[in-house]
Chains A and B, each alone.
Chain A
Amino acid sequence: MSAALLELRQITVSFDGFLALRDLNLSLQPGELRAVIGPNGAGKTTFLDVITGKTAPTEGDVVFKGCSLLGRPEHRIARMGIGRKFQSPRVFEQLSVQENLALAVNQPKQPWSLLVGGLNATQRDQVHHLMSIVNLQNRADWAAGSLSHGQKQWLEIAMLVGQDPDLLLVDEPVAGLTDEETELTADLLKSLAGDHTVLVIEHDMEFIRRLESPVTVLHQGHVLCEGTMDQVQADPRVIEVYLGTTAEDNG
Protein backbone atom coordinates (compact mmCIF):
# COMPACT_ATOMS: atom_id res chain seq x y z
CA MET A 1 0.00 0.00 0.00
CA SER A 2 1.41 3.36 -1.05
CA ALA A 3 1.68 6.31 1.29
CA ALA A 4 -1.51 8.24 1.90
CA LEU A 5 -1.97 11.46 -0.08
CA LEU A 6 -3.85 13.12 2.74
CA GLU A 7 -3.93 12.19 6.35
CA LEU A 8 -5.90 13.80 9.14
CA ARG A 9 -4.47 12.82 12.47
CA GLN A 10 -6.58 13.19 15.60
CA ILE A 11 -8.05 16.47 14.50
CA THR A 12 -10.03 18.39 17.09
CA VAL A 13 -11.62 21.75 16.37
CA SER A 14 -13.13 23.66 19.22
CA PHE A 15 -15.21 26.79 18.73
CA ASP A 16 -15.32 28.32 22.20
CA GLY A 17 -15.66 24.92 23.77
CA PHE A 18 -18.03 23.48 21.18
CA LEU A 19 -16.28 20.59 19.51
CA ALA A 20 -17.05 20.81 15.80
CA LEU A 21 -14.59 17.98 15.17
CA ARG A 22 -13.21 15.66 17.80
CA ASP A 23 -10.37 13.23 17.40
CA LEU A 24 -11.03 12.81 13.71
CA ASN A 25 -8.78 10.42 11.79
CA LEU A 26 -9.00 9.92 8.07
CA SER A 27 -6.62 9.04 5.30
CA LEU A 28 -6.99 9.15 1.53
CA GLN A 29 -4.94 7.11 -0.92
CA PRO A 30 -3.80 8.68 -4.19
CA GLY A 31 -6.45 8.24 -6.86
CA GLU A 32 -9.18 7.38 -4.41
CA LEU A 33 -12.78 8.57 -4.69
CA ARG A 34 -14.31 8.95 -1.25
CA ALA A 35 -17.72 10.09 -0.17
CA VAL A 36 -18.36 11.68 3.20
CA ILE A 37 -21.89 11.82 4.55
CA GLY A 38 -23.35 12.81 7.85
CA PRO A 39 -26.38 14.54 9.31
CA ASN A 40 -26.52 18.31 9.66
CA GLY A 41 -23.95 19.60 12.10
CA ALA A 42 -21.76 16.54 11.79
CA GLY A 43 -18.81 18.78 10.99
CA LYS A 44 -18.52 18.09 7.27
CA THR A 45 -17.81 21.64 6.22
CA THR A 46 -15.52 22.31 9.18
CA PHE A 47 -13.61 19.26 8.11
CA LEU A 48 -12.99 20.82 4.68
CA ASP A 49 -12.14 24.15 6.32
CA VAL A 50 -9.40 22.41 8.29
CA ILE A 51 -7.88 20.78 5.22
CA THR A 52 -7.93 23.96 3.15
CA GLY A 53 -6.49 26.14 5.90
CA LYS A 54 -9.58 28.25 6.56
CA THR A 55 -9.88 26.97 10.11
CA ALA A 56 -6.93 25.98 12.27
CA PRO A 57 -7.47 22.78 14.26
CA THR A 58 -7.20 23.05 18.03
CA GLU A 59 -5.34 19.76 18.11
CA GLY A 60 -4.00 17.25 15.63
CA ASP A 61 -2.22 17.48 12.30
CA VAL A 62 -3.11 17.50 8.62
CA VAL A 63 -0.49 15.91 6.39
CA PHE A 64 -0.61 16.28 2.63
CA LYS A 65 2.04 14.62 0.44
CA GLY A 66 4.13 14.17 3.59
CA CYS A 67 4.02 17.86 4.61
CA SER A 68 2.02 19.30 7.44
CA LEU A 69 -0.51 21.90 6.28
CA LEU A 70 -0.85 23.57 9.65
CA GLY A 71 -0.09 27.27 9.67
CA ARG A 72 -0.03 27.60 5.88
CA PRO A 73 -2.27 30.24 4.33
CA GLU A 74 -5.11 29.12 2.06
CA HIS A 75 -3.51 30.16 -1.20
CA ARG A 76 -0.34 28.16 -0.49
CA ILE A 77 -2.35 25.08 0.37
CA ALA A 78 -4.26 25.57 -2.88
CA ARG A 79 -0.99 25.86 -4.80
CA MET A 80 0.24 22.62 -3.20
CA GLY A 81 -2.55 20.87 -5.03
CA ILE A 82 -5.75 21.01 -3.00
CA GLY A 83 -8.80 22.41 -4.75
CA ARG A 84 -12.14 23.08 -3.15
CA LYS A 85 -15.64 23.48 -4.42
CA PHE A 86 -17.98 25.23 -2.06
CA GLN A 87 -21.39 24.19 -0.88
CA SER A 88 -23.26 26.94 -2.68
CA PRO A 89 -21.62 27.63 -6.02
CA ARG A 90 -19.05 30.37 -5.71
CA VAL A 91 -17.88 31.71 -9.02
CA PHE A 92 -16.69 35.22 -9.85
CA GLU A 93 -19.99 36.63 -10.99
CA GLN A 94 -18.72 39.73 -12.76
CA LEU A 95 -16.22 37.79 -14.83
CA SER A 96 -17.15 35.79 -17.89
CA VAL A 97 -17.14 32.01 -17.93
CA GLN A 98 -13.93 32.07 -19.91
CA GLU A 99 -12.24 34.52 -17.54
CA ASN A 100 -13.27 32.43 -14.54
CA LEU A 101 -11.67 29.37 -16.07
CA ALA A 102 -8.60 31.29 -17.19
CA LEU A 103 -7.97 32.37 -13.60
CA ALA A 104 -8.21 28.77 -12.46
CA VAL A 105 -5.98 27.38 -15.21
CA ASN A 106 -3.40 30.15 -15.07
CA GLN A 107 0.09 29.47 -13.75
CA PRO A 108 1.97 31.03 -11.99
CA LYS A 109 -0.48 32.98 -9.91
CA GLN A 110 1.75 36.03 -9.36
CA PRO A 111 0.90 39.67 -10.12
CA TRP A 112 3.75 40.29 -12.54
CA SER A 113 3.10 37.29 -14.76
CA LEU A 114 -0.58 38.20 -14.84
CA LEU A 115 0.27 41.70 -15.98
CA VAL A 116 2.66 40.88 -18.77
CA GLY A 117 1.76 37.42 -20.00
CA GLY A 118 -1.27 35.76 -21.52
CA LEU A 119 -2.38 32.18 -21.32
CA ASN A 120 -0.21 29.87 -23.39
CA ALA A 121 -1.69 27.68 -26.11
CA THR A 122 -1.98 24.64 -23.86
CA GLN A 123 -3.81 26.62 -21.22
CA ARG A 124 -6.16 28.13 -23.78
CA ASP A 125 -6.94 24.67 -25.10
CA GLN A 126 -7.56 23.55 -21.58
CA VAL A 127 -10.05 26.36 -21.01
CA HIS A 128 -11.93 25.36 -24.16
CA HIS A 129 -11.78 21.72 -23.21
CA LEU A 130 -13.19 22.47 -19.76
CA MET A 131 -15.99 24.53 -21.23
CA SER A 132 -16.95 21.68 -23.52
CA ILE A 133 -16.88 19.16 -20.66
CA VAL A 134 -19.39 21.17 -18.66
CA ASN A 135 -21.34 22.27 -21.72
CA LEU A 136 -20.68 25.97 -21.37
CA GLN A 137 -18.87 26.58 -24.66
CA ASN A 138 -21.80 28.68 -25.91
CA ARG A 139 -21.65 30.76 -22.76
CA ALA A 140 -17.93 31.60 -22.91
CA ASP A 141 -18.47 35.37 -22.82
CA TRP A 142 -21.43 35.39 -20.47
CA ALA A 143 -20.99 36.86 -17.05
CA ALA A 144 -20.87 33.95 -14.64
CA GLY A 145 -23.46 35.72 -12.52
CA SER A 146 -26.03 35.33 -15.28
CA LEU A 147 -25.75 31.54 -15.39
CA SER A 148 -28.35 29.24 -13.90
CA HIS A 149 -27.68 27.55 -10.58
CA GLY A 150 -26.75 24.27 -12.21
CA GLN A 151 -24.45 25.96 -14.70
CA LYS A 152 -22.69 27.75 -11.87
CA GLN A 153 -22.20 24.46 -10.05
CA TRP A 154 -20.63 23.05 -13.16
CA LEU A 155 -18.53 26.09 -13.82
CA GLU A 156 -17.15 25.82 -10.32
CA ILE A 157 -16.39 22.15 -10.80
CA ALA A 158 -14.68 23.01 -14.09
CA MET A 159 -12.65 25.70 -12.33
CA LEU A 160 -11.65 23.14 -9.76
CA VAL A 161 -10.54 20.71 -12.43
CA GLY A 162 -8.76 23.54 -14.24
CA GLN A 163 -6.61 24.16 -11.18
CA ASP A 164 -5.45 20.60 -11.73
CA PRO A 165 -5.20 19.79 -8.05
CA ASP A 166 -4.08 16.40 -6.78
CA LEU A 167 -6.90 16.45 -4.28
CA LEU A 168 -10.37 17.72 -5.09
CA LEU A 169 -12.65 18.54 -2.19
CA VAL A 170 -16.18 18.77 -3.45
CA ASP A 171 -18.85 20.07 -1.09
CA GLU A 172 -22.41 19.19 -2.13
CA PRO A 173 -21.89 19.30 -5.87
CA VAL A 174 -25.43 18.32 -6.80
CA ALA A 175 -27.44 20.53 -4.47
CA GLY A 176 -30.14 22.09 -6.59
CA LEU A 177 -29.30 20.17 -9.76
CA THR A 178 -31.81 18.28 -11.91
CA ASP A 179 -31.68 14.49 -11.96
CA GLU A 180 -29.99 14.49 -15.32
CA GLU A 181 -27.36 17.00 -14.21
CA THR A 182 -26.80 14.94 -11.06
CA GLU A 183 -26.05 11.85 -13.13
CA LEU A 184 -23.65 13.75 -15.34
CA THR A 185 -21.91 15.19 -12.30
CA ALA A 186 -21.50 11.73 -10.80
CA ASP A 187 -19.98 10.48 -14.05
CA LEU A 188 -17.66 13.48 -14.21
CA LEU A 189 -16.40 12.92 -10.69
CA LYS A 190 -15.91 9.21 -11.32
CA SER A 191 -13.88 9.97 -14.42
CA LEU A 192 -11.70 12.35 -12.45
CA ALA A 193 -10.85 9.78 -9.79
CA GLY A 194 -7.74 7.84 -10.65
CA ASP A 195 -5.79 10.79 -11.98
CA HIS A 196 -6.98 12.84 -9.05
CA THR A 197 -8.02 12.03 -5.54
CA VAL A 198 -11.58 13.13 -4.97
CA LEU A 199 -13.42 13.66 -1.72
CA VAL A 200 -17.14 14.34 -2.06
CA ILE A 201 -19.44 15.60 0.65
CA GLU A 202 -23.08 15.12 -0.15
CA HIS A 203 -26.54 14.65 1.33
CA ASP A 204 -28.05 13.01 -1.73
CA MET A 205 -27.89 9.27 -1.07
CA GLU A 206 -28.76 8.28 -4.63
CA PHE A 207 -25.87 10.35 -5.86
CA ILE A 208 -23.46 8.74 -3.39
CA ARG A 209 -24.67 5.34 -4.48
CA ARG A 210 -23.94 6.23 -8.08
CA LEU A 211 -20.37 7.12 -7.18
CA GLU A 212 -19.79 3.48 -6.13
CA SER A 213 -17.12 4.65 -3.73
CA PRO A 214 -16.21 3.94 -0.13
CA VAL A 215 -18.29 6.03 2.26
CA THR A 216 -17.24 7.66 5.50
CA VAL A 217 -19.99 8.65 7.89
CA LEU A 218 -19.35 11.64 10.14
CA HIS A 219 -21.36 12.19 13.28
CA GLN A 220 -20.78 14.89 15.88
CA GLY A 221 -17.34 15.60 14.54
CA HIS A 222 -16.21 12.02 14.64
CA VAL A 223 -15.92 9.20 12.09
CA LEU A 224 -18.84 6.92 12.86
CA CYS A 225 -18.04 4.19 10.35
CA GLU A 226 -16.58 3.54 6.92
CA GLY A 227 -17.54 1.06 4.24
CA THR A 228 -19.49 0.64 1.02
CA MET A 229 -22.83 2.35 0.68
CA ASP A 230 -24.70 -0.90 1.42
CA GLN A 231 -22.62 -1.68 4.48
CA VAL A 232 -23.02 1.83 5.79
CA GLN A 233 -26.74 1.89 5.23
CA ALA A 234 -27.14 -1.37 7.07
CA ASP A 235 -25.11 -0.19 10.04
CA PRO A 236 -27.44 0.27 13.02
CA ARG A 237 -25.43 3.25 14.28
CA VAL A 238 -25.93 5.07 10.99
CA ILE A 239 -29.63 4.37 11.05
CA GLU A 240 -29.74 5.70 14.55
CA VAL A 241 -28.08 9.02 13.80
CA TYR A 242 -30.06 9.55 10.64
CA LEU A 243 -33.46 8.47 11.87
CA GLY A 244 -33.06 9.31 15.51
CA THR A 245 -34.18 5.87 16.69
CA THR A 246 -32.01 3.09 18.01
CA ALA A 247 -31.73 -0.21 16.21
CA GLU A 248 -33.06 -1.96 19.32
CA ASP A 249 -36.25 0.06 19.16
CA ASN A 250 -36.75 -1.10 15.62
CA GLY A 251 -35.91 -4.69 16.43
Chain B
Amino acid sequence: MGFGGRMKKGKIEMLAIFFLLTCLLLLFTLFFHHHYMLTSVVFLTLTFIPFFIRFEKKNGSGRELVVLAILAAVASVSRIPFASIPSVQPMTFVIIMTGAVFGIESGFVVGALSAIVSNFFLYQGPWTVWQMYAWGLVGILAGLLKQTFFIETAIGRVIFGIVTGFLFSWIMNIWVVLTMVQNFSIEQVLVFYASSFPFDLSHALSNAFFLLVFAKRWISILTRFQKKYGLLE
Protein backbone atom coordinates (compact mmCIF):
# COMPACT_ATOMS: atom_id res chain seq x y z
CA MET B 1 0.00 0.00 0.00
CA GLY B 2 1.05 3.52 -0.59
CA PHE B 3 3.74 2.42 -2.97
CA GLY B 4 2.78 4.59 -5.92
CA GLY B 5 5.96 5.63 -7.71
CA ARG B 6 8.10 3.65 -5.36
CA MET B 7 6.32 0.48 -6.41
CA LYS B 8 9.30 -0.99 -8.25
CA LYS B 9 11.79 -0.09 -5.61
CA GLY B 10 9.57 -1.41 -2.86
CA LYS B 11 9.09 -4.67 -4.67
CA ILE B 12 12.80 -5.23 -5.19
CA GLU B 13 13.60 -4.26 -1.66
CA MET B 14 11.10 -6.74 -0.28
CA LEU B 15 12.21 -9.49 -2.59
CA ALA B 16 15.82 -8.96 -1.60
CA ILE B 17 15.02 -9.08 2.09
CA PHE B 18 13.00 -12.21 1.67
CA PHE B 19 15.56 -13.96 -0.46
CA LEU B 20 18.34 -13.11 1.93
CA LEU B 21 16.41 -14.32 4.91
CA THR B 22 15.35 -17.56 3.27
CA CYS B 23 18.99 -18.28 2.44
CA LEU B 24 19.92 -17.51 6.01
CA LEU B 25 17.27 -19.91 7.25
CA LEU B 26 18.64 -22.69 5.08
CA LEU B 27 22.20 -22.00 6.08
CA PHE B 28 21.33 -21.94 9.73
CA THR B 29 19.49 -25.21 9.51
CA LEU B 30 22.39 -26.81 7.69
CA PHE B 31 25.18 -25.61 9.90
CA PHE B 32 23.78 -25.30 13.37
CA HIS B 33 22.68 -28.85 13.39
CA HIS B 34 21.41 -29.26 16.85
CA HIS B 35 19.40 -26.33 17.96
CA TYR B 36 16.95 -26.07 15.15
CA MET B 37 14.19 -24.77 17.30
CA LEU B 38 16.26 -22.08 18.85
CA THR B 39 17.73 -20.95 15.56
CA SER B 40 14.40 -20.95 13.84
CA VAL B 41 12.70 -18.90 16.52
CA VAL B 42 15.53 -16.40 16.48
CA PHE B 43 15.42 -16.41 12.74
CA LEU B 44 11.68 -15.88 12.48
CA THR B 45 11.87 -12.97 14.84
CA LEU B 46 14.64 -11.49 12.74
CA THR B 47 12.64 -11.94 9.54
CA PHE B 48 9.68 -10.18 10.96
CA ILE B 49 11.37 -7.18 12.32
CA PRO B 50 11.95 -5.39 8.98
CA PHE B 51 8.36 -5.99 7.89
CA PHE B 52 6.98 -5.12 11.23
CA ILE B 53 8.94 -1.93 11.46
CA ARG B 54 8.02 -0.96 7.96
CA PHE B 55 4.36 -1.01 8.80
CA GLU B 56 4.89 0.41 12.25
CA LYS B 57 6.67 3.46 10.87
CA LYS B 58 3.91 4.27 8.40
CA ASN B 59 1.35 6.85 9.21
CA GLY B 60 -1.58 5.07 7.66
CA SER B 61 -4.97 6.72 7.72
CA GLY B 62 -7.74 5.43 9.92
CA ARG B 63 -9.51 4.09 6.86
CA GLU B 64 -6.53 2.02 5.79
CA LEU B 65 -6.17 0.63 9.25
CA VAL B 66 -9.84 -0.27 9.45
CA VAL B 67 -9.83 -1.97 6.05
CA LEU B 68 -6.82 -4.10 6.97
CA ALA B 69 -8.42 -4.99 10.29
CA ILE B 70 -11.66 -5.95 8.57
CA LEU B 71 -9.90 -8.15 6.02
CA ALA B 72 -8.02 -9.97 8.76
CA ALA B 73 -11.17 -10.40 10.82
CA VAL B 74 -13.07 -11.69 7.79
CA ALA B 75 -10.22 -14.13 7.17
CA SER B 76 -10.37 -15.30 10.78
CA VAL B 77 -14.10 -15.98 10.79
CA SER B 78 -14.05 -17.37 7.25
CA ARG B 79 -13.44 -20.90 8.44
CA ILE B 80 -16.75 -21.04 10.30
CA PRO B 81 -18.99 -22.05 7.36
CA PHE B 82 -16.52 -24.81 6.51
CA ALA B 83 -16.17 -26.24 9.99
CA SER B 84 -17.75 -29.49 8.84
CA ILE B 85 -15.28 -30.07 6.00
CA PRO B 86 -11.88 -31.10 7.40
CA SER B 87 -8.87 -28.91 6.58
CA VAL B 88 -10.82 -26.71 4.22
CA GLN B 89 -10.75 -23.05 5.14
CA PRO B 90 -10.59 -19.99 2.92
CA MET B 91 -8.18 -17.95 5.08
CA THR B 92 -5.38 -18.39 2.58
CA PHE B 93 -7.77 -17.31 -0.16
CA VAL B 94 -8.79 -14.11 1.65
CA ILE B 95 -5.13 -13.26 2.22
CA ILE B 96 -4.26 -13.88 -1.43
CA MET B 97 -7.10 -11.61 -2.52
CA THR B 98 -5.83 -8.87 -0.25
CA GLY B 99 -2.34 -9.08 -1.67
CA ALA B 100 -3.65 -9.29 -5.22
CA VAL B 101 -5.62 -6.06 -4.88
CA PHE B 102 -3.92 -3.96 -2.23
CA GLY B 103 -0.33 -5.05 -2.84
CA ILE B 104 2.61 -6.64 -1.06
CA GLU B 105 2.59 -4.82 2.21
CA SER B 106 -1.15 -5.08 2.79
CA GLY B 107 -0.89 -8.76 1.86
CA PHE B 108 1.78 -9.28 4.48
CA VAL B 109 -0.03 -7.27 7.13
CA VAL B 110 -3.34 -9.05 6.65
CA GLY B 111 -1.61 -12.45 6.50
CA ALA B 112 0.30 -11.91 9.71
CA LEU B 113 -2.62 -10.22 11.42
CA SER B 114 -5.04 -13.02 10.54
CA ALA B 115 -2.75 -15.42 12.35
CA ILE B 116 -2.67 -13.26 15.47
CA VAL B 117 -6.39 -12.65 15.44
CA SER B 118 -7.50 -16.20 14.79
CA ASN B 119 -5.34 -17.39 17.67
CA PHE B 120 -6.53 -14.57 19.87
CA PHE B 121 -9.64 -16.50 20.76
CA LEU B 122 -7.82 -19.81 21.06
CA TYR B 123 -4.29 -20.16 22.31
CA GLN B 124 -1.37 -18.01 21.52
CA GLY B 125 1.88 -19.87 21.38
CA PRO B 126 4.98 -20.22 19.29
CA TRP B 127 2.79 -21.52 16.46
CA THR B 128 1.26 -18.06 16.12
CA VAL B 129 4.59 -16.73 15.03
CA TRP B 130 4.94 -19.49 12.45
CA GLN B 131 1.48 -18.90 11.09
CA MET B 132 2.19 -15.19 10.88
CA TYR B 133 5.26 -16.02 8.88
CA ALA B 134 3.52 -18.49 6.59
CA TRP B 135 0.44 -16.40 5.88
CA GLY B 136 2.49 -13.22 5.69
CA LEU B 137 4.59 -14.90 3.03
CA VAL B 138 1.47 -15.96 1.10
CA GLY B 139 0.24 -12.36 1.21
CA ILE B 140 3.57 -11.08 -0.03
CA LEU B 141 3.63 -13.57 -2.90
CA ALA B 142 0.11 -12.58 -3.96
CA GLY B 143 1.14 -8.94 -3.87
CA LEU B 144 4.22 -9.67 -5.98
CA LEU B 145 2.21 -11.54 -8.58
CA LYS B 146 -0.56 -8.95 -8.65
CA GLN B 147 -1.83 -8.44 -12.18
CA THR B 148 0.32 -11.22 -13.60
CA PHE B 149 -0.47 -14.56 -15.20
CA PHE B 150 -0.88 -16.20 -11.80
CA ILE B 151 -3.71 -13.96 -10.71
CA GLU B 152 -5.29 -13.00 -14.00
CA THR B 153 -5.74 -16.37 -15.70
CA ALA B 154 -7.67 -19.40 -14.57
CA ILE B 155 -4.75 -21.83 -14.99
CA GLY B 156 -2.43 -19.41 -13.27
CA ARG B 157 -4.77 -19.14 -10.31
CA VAL B 158 -5.08 -22.90 -9.97
CA ILE B 159 -1.30 -23.27 -9.94
CA PHE B 160 -0.89 -20.39 -7.53
CA GLY B 161 -3.61 -21.77 -5.29
CA ILE B 162 -2.06 -25.21 -5.09
CA VAL B 163 1.46 -23.88 -4.56
CA THR B 164 0.49 -21.44 -1.81
CA GLY B 165 -1.77 -24.03 -0.21
CA PHE B 166 1.11 -26.45 0.13
CA LEU B 167 3.54 -23.70 1.03
CA PHE B 168 1.45 -22.74 4.01
CA SER B 169 0.94 -26.31 5.21
CA TRP B 170 4.56 -27.23 4.78
CA ILE B 171 5.84 -24.24 6.66
CA MET B 172 3.52 -25.20 9.50
CA ASN B 173 4.81 -28.78 9.31
CA ILE B 174 8.35 -27.52 9.74
CA TRP B 175 7.35 -25.96 13.02
CA VAL B 176 5.84 -29.17 14.30
CA VAL B 177 8.91 -31.15 13.29
CA LEU B 178 11.30 -28.64 14.80
CA THR B 179 9.49 -28.33 18.08
CA MET B 180 8.32 -31.80 18.76
CA VAL B 181 10.87 -34.10 17.29
CA GLN B 182 14.39 -33.96 18.64
CA ASN B 183 17.24 -35.66 16.87
CA PHE B 184 15.11 -36.30 13.83
CA SER B 185 16.22 -38.08 10.72
CA ILE B 186 15.22 -37.39 7.17
CA GLU B 187 13.01 -40.50 7.13
CA GLN B 188 11.13 -39.29 10.16
CA VAL B 189 10.50 -35.96 8.50
CA LEU B 190 9.33 -37.66 5.34
CA VAL B 191 6.99 -39.93 7.25
CA PHE B 192 5.57 -36.90 9.00
CA TYR B 193 5.06 -35.01 5.75
CA ALA B 194 3.52 -38.06 4.12
CA SER B 195 1.08 -38.49 6.99
CA SER B 196 -0.10 -34.91 6.72
CA PHE B 197 -0.25 -35.00 2.92
CA PRO B 198 -3.99 -35.71 2.55
CA PHE B 199 -4.81 -32.71 4.75
CA ASP B 200 -2.36 -30.47 2.95
CA LEU B 201 -3.73 -31.60 -0.40
CA SER B 202 -7.27 -30.87 0.63
CA HIS B 203 -6.26 -27.39 1.79
CA ALA B 204 -4.36 -26.75 -1.45
CA LEU B 205 -7.17 -27.99 -3.68
CA SER B 206 -9.86 -26.02 -1.92
CA ASN B 207 -7.63 -22.98 -2.08
CA ALA B 208 -7.25 -23.44 -5.83
CA PHE B 209 -10.99 -23.98 -6.16
CA PHE B 210 -11.79 -20.75 -4.34
CA LEU B 211 -9.31 -18.87 -6.49
CA LEU B 212 -10.71 -20.38 -9.65
CA VAL B 213 -14.35 -19.68 -8.89
CA PHE B 214 -14.33 -16.57 -6.74
CA ALA B 215 -11.15 -14.60 -7.46
CA LYS B 216 -12.63 -12.42 -10.19
CA ARG B 217 -15.64 -11.48 -8.14
CA TRP B 218 -13.57 -10.71 -5.06
CA ILE B 219 -11.05 -8.66 -6.98
CA SER B 220 -13.88 -6.61 -8.43
CA ILE B 221 -15.49 -6.11 -5.00
CA LEU B 222 -12.22 -5.03 -3.43
CA THR B 223 -11.28 -2.81 -6.36
CA ARG B 224 -14.66 -1.08 -6.33
CA PHE B 225 -14.22 -0.41 -2.67
CA GLN B 226 -10.65 0.80 -3.13
CA LYS B 227 -11.79 3.28 -5.76
CA LYS B 228 -14.90 4.41 -3.92
CA TYR B 229 -12.93 5.40 -0.86
CA GLY B 230 -9.56 6.11 -2.43
CA LEU B 231 -7.74 3.57 -0.30
CA LEU B 232 -4.41 1.82 -0.20
CA GLU B 233 -3.52 2.78 -3.72
Our verdict on whether A and B bind, yes or no, reads no
Binding site for B on A (CB under 8 A): none
Binding site for A on B (CB under 8 A): none
